Copies of this chain bind each other. A is one copy, B any other.
């Protein structure tokens, strides 16, 4: 499968209705920030500049964006992934992988040659840009901020960008390289939907030097983000207590997931508290067995031994996974 989170393919192949499936194919927090009531105006009128400014102020505080850096909101990080390679200067791009496959697709589409590398230390001399997902999806590897700054400085001399996709960085406030934004040619992508459990609203951010951010804003045009996303995003990003409690709650739940995977003979090789990457010699057969029991996890075309599991949302879901994996 190409992406997590779409049961359409799973249901076509294995049957069942959407509500019969336990979907563990994504890295989306299963306990969403509580939306409660939205003002009617969020649906009915065009989003205003004041709405957008309120969202960006909340995002600046939540992500600790330095004053020297700019920030722009988009209808999902994916929209930014599509757009960045078209705004970047010509030149090859190194992509640290295996990782989320849309980066490579978008840069290739925009005419950049791709150099697939395993670690930033292997940065080829001919590349102008680099892309890293940090923490990485699916293996959760975290790259040291000092190393990121070093690479950004190298790319600055080549006139290029270091794109850091921090889609899963909310789980630990120490991971982000945002403090270095604004001085160096670093473009950070932040995804709202994953940590806040609201992937359907489509909200993401790019943080970078003011000229890069203004270029993105210009190409996105006015009213890029929906009224509900502006309203929910501003309130949720201002809710620091919820974020803190959620970090703790996710960390506790993923330990329970680890226990189930270890009991079933998996080796847990990485991940974040929103998903785990696990190795098993019979991974392909287990993926199929789980699907026959309407449990959907993520498999990969680059390994037959790896599966990625999102967080089961309650004790019943944990038990269901454990039972399905029992020999």
CB nearest neighbor in B for A35: B43
Are B75 and A224 in contact, CB atoms less than 8 angstroms apart? yes
Q: Give the docked Cα–Cα distance between A222 and B81 (Å).
A: 11
Within 8 A of B (CB), among A232-275: none
Within 8 A of B (CB), among A31-56: 32, 35, 40-50
Q: How far apart are A101's CB and chain B's nearest CB, in angstroms?
A: 11
Interface presence of A327 (CB below 8 A):
no
* A interface residue count range (under 10 / 10 to 19 / 20 to 34 / 35 or more): 35 or more
Q: How far apart are A7's CB and chain B's nearest CB, in angstroms?
A: 6
Name the 4 nearest CB pairs between A and B, nearest first.
A200-B227, A5-B46, A82-B221, A75-B75
Give 30 pairs: A residue, B residue, CB < 8 Å, sorted on A. Answer: A3-B222, A4-B46, A5-B46, A5-B48, A6-B46, A8-B48, A9-B49, A26-B45, A32-B43, A35-B43, A41-B200, A42-B200, A43-B198, A44-B198, A46-B200, A75-B75, A75-B202, A75-B224, A76-B224, A78-B222, A79-B221, A79-B224, A81-B221, A82-B219, A82-B221, A109-B218, A199-B223, A199-B227, A200-B228, A226-B228
Which residues of chain B have C-beta atoms less than 8 A from A9's C-beta? 49
CB nearest neighbor in B for A74: B75
Are A43 and B226 in contact, CB atoms less than 8 angstroms apart? no
Are B76 and A223 in contact, CB atoms less than 8 angstroms apart? yes
Indicate how many identical chains form the complex: 2
Among B48, B222, B226, the residue within 8 A (CB) of A229 is B226
Are B202 and A48 in contact, CB atoms less than 8 angstroms apart? no
Q: How far apart are A26's CB and chain B's nearest CB, in angstroms?
A: 7
Which residues of chain B have C-beta atoms less than 8 A from A81's C-beta? 221
CB nearest neighbor in B for A23: B45
Which residues of chain B have C-beta atoms less than 8 A from A32's C-beta? 40, 43-44
**A48, A197, A220: which has the most chain B beta carbons within 10 Å?**
A48
Interface presence of A28 (CB below 8 A):
yes
Are A49 and B8 in contact, CB atoms less than 8 angstroms apart? yes
Interface presence of A225 (CB below 8 A):
yes
Having A26-B46, A76-B224, one finds 6 other A-B pairs with CB under 8 Å, namely A4-B46, A8-B50, A32-B43, A43-B198, A82-B220, A228-B228
Which residues of chain B have C-beta atoms less than 8 A from A45's C-beta? 5, 23, 26, 28, 199-200
Q: Give the docked Cα–Cα distance between A45 and B32 (Å).
A: 10
Q: Give the docked Cα–Cα distance between A197 and B43 (Å).
A: 8
Q: Give the docked Cα–Cα distance between A218 and B6 (Å).
A: 18
Which residues of chain B have C-beta atoms less than 8 A from A318's C-beta? none
Which residues of chain B have C-beta atoms less than 8 A from A283's C-beta? none
Which residues of chain B have C-beta atoms less than 8 A from A8's C-beta? 48-50
Are A202 and B226 in contact, CB atoms less than 8 angstroms apart? yes
Within 8 A of B (CB), among A42-101: 42-50, 75-76, 78-79, 81-82, 86
User: Per-residue CB proximity of A161-204 to B under 8 Å, as 1/0?
Assistant: 00000000000000000000000000000000100011111100
Q: Give the docked Cα–Cα distance between A36 and B149 (Å).
A: 49
Among B4, B221, B223, B225, the residue within 8 A (CB) of A106 is B221
Interface presence of A282 (CB below 8 A):
no
